[in-house]
Copies of this chain bind each other. A is one copy, B any other.
């Protein structure tokens, strides 16, 4: 009946209202929220949730492979319920983080293993630039 509860149970995690809320939120957003973003988003509907629980839960999820933790260099972690390896694009103006796909990842990973001698387990490919909206805003700014 409850798909998300089954997913948690399948990973050996107890099903709690907090975990359901956090995972459901992450599953249905594309915003790559931080722990605090998640906490604030869930406050209205889950008034007793605590930030510490959000952190602990995200760590549990990460260690069983239900979410991916990103370090885009903003001093905090951002979370993504899409766990398949994929690159991210970060807007240096509005801080948006968006997903995209690339067929080059496998090749790059092989090259990395070959050139370094490491066993490569995963990767984090992050691109930085201006999103279309911010580019337009800044070019209008230039025209003033």
Contact = CB atoms under 8 A, between A and B. Distances in A.
B123 A125 contact: yes
Interface string A71-98: 1110001000000000101011000001
A6 interface: no
B101 A104 contact: no
Number of copies: 2
Interface in A15-72: 69, 71-72
A12 interface: no
Contacts of A121: 92, 128-130
Cβ-closest 6 pairs across A and B: A71-B73, A120-B129, A118-B129, A71-B71, A119-B130, A123-B127
Given A71-B71, A89-B116, A119-B135, 19 more contacts: A71-B73, A73-B124, A87-B108, A87-B112, A91-B118, A98-B116, A100-B116, A101-B115, A102-B115, A104-B108, A116-B127, A118-B129, A118-B130, A118-B131, A120-B129, A121-B129, A122-B129, A123-B125, A126-B126
